[in-house]
Amino acid sequence: MRPSTRAVHVPVPTLPNSRSISVPIYQASNFAFDDPDALAEALESPDSGFVYSRYANPTVRALEDHLARLEGGVAAVFTASGMGAISAVLMSTLRSGDHVIAQSCLYGGTYAMLNDLAARFGVDVTYIAGDDPAEVAAAVRPSTRMLYLETIANPVTKVVDLPAFLAAGRAAGLVTVVDNTFATPLLCRPIEHGADVVLHSATKYLGGHSDVTGGALVFAEDQRYREVWHHAMELGAAADPFAAWLTIRGVQTLPLRMRQHCANAAVLAERLAAHPSVVSVRWPGHPGHPDHEVARGHLSDFGGMLVFDLAGGREAGYAFTKGVRLAKLAVSLGGVETTLVHPASSSHRQLDADALLAAGIGEGTVRVSVGIEDAEDVWEDFAQALPL
Ligand SMILES: *Cc1c(COP(=O)(O)O)cnc(C)c1O
């Protein structure tokens, strides 16, 4: 089956004589057993029956199996948030004294967590630009344990040559982890390129409707799945069944939504690039994007995240986010509606021009999560809010 078909057909837990087409919500925290040995076994392993919903739950499991198949992995762990997934994989894989190689263009929460691990547990981190796979070998030490990447990186849509970087990580014997939130398994399946662990903030495209917080880890092999599952269970990272159910519902329309996100982003990228008050546009599908050629190599489309820079700097960015009427000023992304942020006046307002530049952000940079509306309506909204 092709990914778009696979996304629709969710494995439904079976009833004795019939089968519901949709996955029911098993709103249960506790499960009874007839046999004490079976109960003991279920406490030890993620697949020996349901015992307690912090360990496993039938609705959550249906989603985990579905995500594992979509990403081409053997198993998955669904968590209460994307950061729950990131915490579980970092805490279960790293020990004091370990060294991590991570891309410098990275989700802010991941960056904060890595810095925290460095300060409190002596985990060392080297940040690489992600322009040349040789950066990996150059950064490797005897203590290096993990290579951490993002398929399309937050916030400025940097795209590393994923197959080449993963090959370099594997050659050095590292555990390779890829945050695939922006690309989704519809555009890229990092396990096919050699990733050990793929993770998502399901809050974004997988859920897709700005109504659920969740995260996921998908594993290329069973042993690592069991180890990380054990730690996720100890950390209490488990998601509740309703969040899993909303995410299942979201994933079934992911192929349709992604097609529209990508098509709309293509329209906006072209028109923004031609606008006199726009200095540059970064959307991986746009020929002007610094990683466009690299992205063409392993992405089947280029996603709904787009960044552009206004000539008028901080003031122009601020005025634009105030001037839009249809698009919403909001930090999260990946929903059906267009949202945007101007980092220099919001998330990054404490940074001066130099510090912003180091983070790859300009004073006039606007980050857009392009929704699935009619692209003409979004463009009309942008056009009336752009400086003349
Ligand atoms: C939002 C986000 C996360 C964190 O996910 P939460 O669900 O907010 O915990 C991680 N990675 C990326 C790329 C994100 O955009």
Share of the chain above pLDDT 90, in %: 90
Predicted confidence (pLDDT) at residue 330 exceeds the cutoff of 90: yes
Give the number of other CB atoms < 10 A from CB of residue 37. 8
Q: Please give the distance, rounded to the nearest whole angstrom, from the Cα atom of residue 155 to the centre of ligand 1.
A: 11
Question: Is residue 54 annotated as part of the catalytic site, yes or no?
Answer: yes
Predicted confidence (pLDDT) at residue 225 exceeds the cutoff of 90: yes
Tell me what the mean pLDDT of segment 283-298 comes to: 97
Q: Tens of pLDDT along 146-155?
A: 999 999 998 8
Q: Do the domains at 3-10+20-252 and 254-385 have one common CATH topology?
A: no
DSSP for 93-127, please give it: H--TT-EEEEESS--HHHHHHHHHHHHHH--EEEE
3-10+20-252 maps to CATH 3.40.640.10: yes
CATH class of 254-385: alpha beta
Is residue 185 very low, low, confident or very high in pLDDT (cuts 50, 70, 90)?
A: very high
Q: What is the pLDDT of residue 154?
A: 87
For helices 222-235 and 82-93, give the axis angle rounded to 10 degrees: 110
**Mean pLDDT, all residues of the chain:** 95
Q: Tens of pLDDT along 310-323?
A: 999 999 999 999 99
Strands of the sheet containing 339-341, edge to edge, are 278-282, 305-310, 365-369, 339-341, 328-329
Where are the domains positioned within the chain? 3-10+20-252, 254-385
Strands of the sheet containing 124-128, edge to edge, are 75-79, 215-219, 197-201, 175-179, 144-150, 99-103, 124-128
Q: Kindly give, in sequence order, each residue whose CB lies less than 8 Å from that of residue 352, ignoring residues fewer than 6 positions away.
A: none
Q: Which of 17, 13, 40 minimizes the C-alpha distance to 28?
A: 13
Tell me what the mean pLDDT of segment 22-49 comes to: 93
Residue with the two structure tokens 């949709």: 22
Predicted confidence (pLDDT) at residue 17 exceeds the cutoff of 90: no
Tell me what the mean pLDDT of segment 50-72 comes to: 97
Q: What's the pTM? A: 0.96
Q: Please give the distance, rounded to the nearest whole angstrom, from the Cα atom of residue 84 to the centre of ligand 1.
A: 9
User: What is the rounded distance in angstroms from the CA atom of residue 361 to the CA atom of residue 309?
Assistant: 9
Q: Tens of pLDDT along 356-367?
A: 887 788 999 999
Q: 320 near 290, Cβ under 8 Å?
A: no
Q: Is 13 in the pocket of ligand 1 (CB under 6 A)?
A: no
Predicted confidence (pLDDT) at residue 88 exceeds the cutoff of 90: yes
Mutate to test the pocket of ligand 1, among 103, 107, 111, 213 (most ligand atoms within 8 A of CB): 107
| 19, burial (CB in 10 Å: exposed 0-12, middle 13-18, buried 19+) | exposed
Is residue 9 very low, low, confident or very high in pLDDT (cuts 50, 70, 90)?
A: very high
Q: Is the peptide bond before 13 cis (omega within 30 degrees of 0)?
A: no
Tell me what the mean pLDDT of segment 262-272 comes to: 98
Q: Is 217 in the pocket of ligand 1 (CB under 6 A)?
A: no
Q: Please give the distance, rounded to the nearest whole angstrom, from the Cα atom of residue 107 to the centre of ligand 1.
A: 7
User: What is the rounded distance in angstroms from the CA atom of residue 179 to the CA atom of residue 374?
Assistant: 29
Tell me what the mean pLDDT of segment 215-234 comes to: 97
Mutate to test the pocket of ligand 1, among 149, 154, 210, 341 (most ligand atoms within 8 A of CB): 154
Tell me what the mean pLDDT of segment 80-90 comes to: 98
Encoded tokens for 333: 């992304």
Q: Kindly give, in sequence order, each residue whose CB lies less than 8 Å from that of residue 164, ignoring residues fewer than 6 positions away.
A: 133
Share of the chain above pLDDT 70, in %: 100
Question: Is residue 328 annotated as part of the catalytic site, yes or no?
Answer: no
Is residue 268 very low, low, confident or very high in pLDDT (cuts 50, 70, 90)?
A: very high
Q: Is 157 in the pocket of ligand 1 (CB under 6 A)?
A: no
What number of residues does the chain have? 388
